[in-house]
Amino acid sequence: MNSGVKEPFGAARLAGEWTALGIELLRGQCAMDRVRLRYSPRDIVAIGERETLKRALASAHALHRFFLQFGAQIEQPEDGQLAR
């Protein structure tokens, strides 16, 4: 895996994709909140398709692992600077 963006066009592309990701994550969170506020987990499991629920759970775990990876890096000081 590439550990850094080396080319200027790569940085611009990453910035654009990151912005799009933020929008998609917000949309997903809003959709999830609508369901979460209306139904209990028991209702969702009783009515939801098991395979769909398993895929949603796997996606949530993958997102969690992904964000933990760079979350830990944000907490580490860079080039002798203090972590923010």
SS (H, E, C) 51-71: HHHHHHHHHHHHHHHHHHHHH
- 3-class secondary structure, 50: helix
How confident is the model over 2-59, as pLDDT tens digits? 556 566 668 889 999 999 999 999 999 999 999 999 999 999 999 989 999 999 999 9
In terms of residues, how long is the chain? Answer: 84
Distance of CA 40 to the CA centre of its chain: 23
Provide the token pair at 64: 């969690």
- Exposed (0-12), middle (13-18) or buried (19+): which is 44, by Cβ within 10 Å? middle
The model's pTM? 0.66
How confident is the model over 44-81, as pLDDT tens digits? 999 989 999 999 999 999 999 999 998 888 887 766 56
